[in-house]
Copies of this chain bind each other. A is one copy, B any other.
């Protein structure tokens, strides 16, 4: 027996020591990644440029073109192995220079509201729209009220985001149907236009825009959003004076599609250059803010993964690729084009990561992959724990990478503290100064760590 035990020890120990050394080595590399991110705020400076020098960059606009050129130049300056643009045609919707709404009440007086057009909305025409208002809280309300109560009126969607939810993405998810499909639904009942309560947990004066969709089968009607404070006010005034009128004016419009690009940069893999770990955020943003948390942060954080690799001189085994996706907000053309390219080239992607939930403190990763792959990432929890990345769960990833799902790629979304995100989302409040450099840098380091572990141990 004794002999056998010794034999077992001899056989097992070298392996144990090897693994332990490897893991210690990993821990040291990972620690260096965080130090590099936290002490060298290049990502934060890049965000500054993207937000305060360029600003809001709606796809199809000159600002979006400027952003493409800026990121291309930025990547070219990083001595990567490859930098290129992937062409993609995008919609070009123009907000115009008029978007107003005013309550006119004989009893209560007049009140201008904080409003803005929803993305893809048609304008009101030069004379605007002036009509009665019917407040609803769901598409079912439309059905209950019926055409007789809606025709010729402005429908006011006023179901609030549920503040009692712990995760604000659920609050948003429970309200955003009004923005996305309100006009399409109200048009079926011959409404003249819709005004939609902003899909946010914040109580503020910012209208929070976002894309909305028309149906081919119904006539498009103008769609605008109103700040939560003003939605409360409009609702209150309507209770006191149901006969009040709302006048609306918008000169937003569609223009011909424009050529644009995803921006791509790579470090070639030393052992498996044909296998790719891809990561990115989306470069386009809404026009009324600076596109800071949505999604300038995701863009500069994922670029910073490559910067960290270069700064520390780490040579990845697999090809590491950053993509600044174009047109997440409007029609996800960049995402579709990227997935199409991967399919055509039969490129093997061993992992895809998106950062598009705001640049607040990272919590961990939401993973859309097999149970085996999820468990593998969970087995790395000891590596994540020192950096407070505690959330590693099955769940959605990101809009720009989800088309890779059909090719079997494990998809991962960076999960960040969600409490403040919808204070900024799609509104003029989404500005550079709302991003904390440390929170941003921790997110970049957290993804660099995950990329390192995938590159080292596979998925």
Contact = CB atoms under 8 A, between A and B. Distances in A.
Interface string A432-444: 0000101100100
A390 B361 CA distance: 14
A329 to B, nearest CB: 24
Nearest to A364: B390
A166 B386 contact: yes
A168 interface: yes
A85 to B, nearest CB: 34
Contact of A166 (B163, B387, B390, B391): B387
Interface in A156-210: 163-164, 166, 168, 201
B436 A423 contact: yes
A148 interface: no
B163 A39 contact: yes
A338 interface: no
Interface in A357-377: 361, 363
A419 B361 contact: yes
Given A361-B419, A390-B390, A419-B361, A201 B166 contact: no
Count the copies. 2
A294 B83 CA distance: 47
Among A39, A436, A438, the most chain B Cβ lie within 10 Å of the Cβ of: A438
Contact of A34 (B166, B168, B361): B166
> Looking at chain A, what size class is its interface with the partner chain?
20 to 34
Interface in A372-408: 386-388, 390-391
A29 interface: no
A439 B420 CA distance: 8
A245 B423 CA distance: 47
A166 B445 CA distance: 11
A88 interface: no
A164 B35 CA distance: 5
A201 B44 CA distance: 15
A275 interface: no
A417 B361 CA distance: 8
Given A390-B390, A417-B417, A166 B436 contact: no
Interface in A301-348: none
Interface of A: 34-35, 38-39, 163-164, 166, 168, 201, 361, 363, 386-388, 390-391, 417, 419-420, 423, 436, 438-439, 442
6 contacts: A166-B388, A361-B361, A390-B391, A419-B436, A419-B442, A420-B438
* 10 closest cross-chain pairs (CB), A and B: A35-B164, A390-B390, A419-B438, A419-B439, A38-B164, A38-B163, A361-B417, A39-B163, A420-B436, A39-B164
Given A166-B388, A417-B417, A419-B439, 6 more contacts: A35-B164, A39-B163, A163-B438, A361-B361, A419-B438, A420-B439
